[in-house]
Amino acid sequence: MSFDLFTFGEVLSVFITADTESVMSAKSYERVTAGAEANVAVAISRLGLKAQYFSRFGTDQLGSVMINDIKSEGVDVSAVKRVSSFSAAMVRNPGKSAPVEISYLRKGSAASTIEPTDIPETFISSSRWLHTTGITCAISKTGADTVKFALGRARERRVKSSFDLNIRRKLWSESEAKAVLEPLATDIELLIGGEDEYQVVFGLTDAKKVLAEANNRGCKIAVMTKGSQVLRYSIDGEFDQFTPPKVVSVDPVGSGDAFTGGTIAGLLSGMNPFQALTQGSICGASVASMFGDWTGIPKGKFGVVDSDVLNRLGSLK
């Protein structure tokens, strides 16, 4: 079976305070499933394309419910593995009137045992696009090895790929992140990162220079995000920028992954890079305007967002 996108990584059961803005005072929580790569897979599926997701899950109930959550979004999870470890979790406040504070329960999790042998060559060769992130690199040495392996196989098979730097400072130091991520940020179709993440990985602060350096390393489309502020990008050495749609931000968590998924879907649908980035920004804004990583991910067909979303948030012209 062929897919439009293959991705892998760690998902978490996210427990969000339901009665207060602080974990310190909360008595009740809402559980949702989330994780950078799974969020992208869900976005691809919502936009009418076929996505396959792989991870290792524990044999616990959290593992079972997360697999079911992802499957219910139309993402193929037939290849996931169940292992004798625990499924990861996150505890956080909703961030509506106070900054988001996160506690991870993931060191030594089932997904952290992912290794290159988990990724058969057919997973990549049967897909049109491979998506990876720096989070998988941060959770374990074998996770980083698997990202390196998958990106290498994609290059060999001429499968387009994307890499989101996604530095999680609760998981490793900036120096550790730079040592692992810098060699990986080369010869890929789409490189995505926040302004601060590019600075860590490339050691440059000037946006034009750092994006040009990414292009020089073979990253055709290099994108620098900064939340709702100006999005800067460089395509084959041509620098430009635009402002994403303005929305009232309800919950920004997950909006970056929606941007990535919307952009990839646009490129797979045949859009030019600017149109794809515009679609990505529309998807990101839609998620930020609603509570939850998946709630605001728009629907579409053949990789293009539905017209009602465009009418509400912007145009792809």
- What is the per-residue pLDDT across 76-103, written as a single tens digit (0 to 9) for each? 999 999 999 999 999 999 888 888 899 9
Q: Which residues pair with 221 in a beta bridge?
A: 190, 235
pLDDT in tens, 1-30: 799 999 999 999 999 999 999 999 999 999
What pLDDT shows up at residue 316?
A: 66
Rounded-to-integer distance, Cα 217 and Cα 306, Å: 35
- Crossing angle (nearest 10°) for helices 36-46 and 61-72: 30
Question: Average pLDDT for residues 271-298, to the nearest whole number?
Answer: 88
d(CA 259, CA 242): 14
Confidence of residue 294 (pLDDT cuts 50, 70, 90): confident
Determine the pLDDT at residue 317: 60
Reported as half-sphere exposure (CB side, CA atoms, 13 A), residue 265 has a value of 35
SS3 215: helix
Please tell me the class of the 36-62+73-86+107-311 domain. alpha beta
What's the whole-number average pLDDT of the chain? Answer: 94
Predicted pLDDT of residue 290: 76
Q: What percent of the chain has pLDDT over 70?
A: 97
Q: Which of 149, 20, 34, 26 is nearest to 89 (CA)?
A: 34
**What are the structural domain ranges in the chain?**
36-62+73-86+107-311
Q: Mean pLDDT across the stretch 148-174?
A: 97
Quote the CA–CA distance of 303 and 295 in Å, as a whole number.
Answer: 18
What's the number of CA atoms in the CB half-sphere (13 Å) around residue 141? Answer: 0
pLDDT given at position 217: 97
The predicted model gives 175-192 an average pLDDT of: 97
pLDDT (tens digit per residue) in 245-271: 877 676 677 789 999 999 999 999 999
